[in-house]
Amino acid sequence: MGQVAIKIHGRQYPVACDDGQEAHLASLGRFLDERAEKLASSAGSINDALLLVMVALVVADELTDALAELKALNVANEREAESESQTASALKDLADRIERIAARLEGA
């Protein structure tokens, strides 16, 4: 079991993780620290617990925005796939019709 010391707004937090996940966890910690420092500089003097709650809310807000955007993109992709399917079907029908007309012309 791995362990990483994450530093957020000047305080160290020891966090356990699966072996091999240390670098990823450290990266997440740096991400949170950047958010905490940015919030702390704009919010003034607040206690660490409130700062961490505010960071969590900001990150949760960004996550919900990203999930909504992903959902919208998935819907758009599904519509595009349906449109492509309809276009392919229409082209196939048109090709079949052209073949029937060509066969009639050859028989005439």
Whole-number Cα distances in Å, 79 to 30, 53, 69, 70, 85: 39, 39, 15, 14, 10
Picking from 38, 16, 22, the residue whose alpha carbon sits closest to that of residue 8 is 38
Is the CB of residue 26 less than 8 Å from the CB of residue 6? yes
Picking from 28, 23, 24, 25, the residue whose alpha carbon sits closest to that of residue 15 is 25
- Residue 51's CB is within 10 A of a number of other CB atoms, namely 20
The pTM of the full predicted model, rounded to 2 decimals, is 0.69
Mind listing the pLDDT tens digit for each residue in 10-56?
A: 999 999 999 999 999 999 999 999 999 999 999 878 899 999 999 99
Domain count across the chain: 1
Mind listing the pLDDT tens digit for each residue in 48-82?
A: 999 999 999 999 999 999 999 999 999 999 999 99
HSE-up of residue 19 (Cα within 13 Å, Cβ side):
1
Distance in angstroms (rounded) separating the CA atoms of residues 48 and 64: 24
CA angle 70, 73, 76 (to 5 degrees): 155
Q: Which domain holds residue 71?
A: 2-107
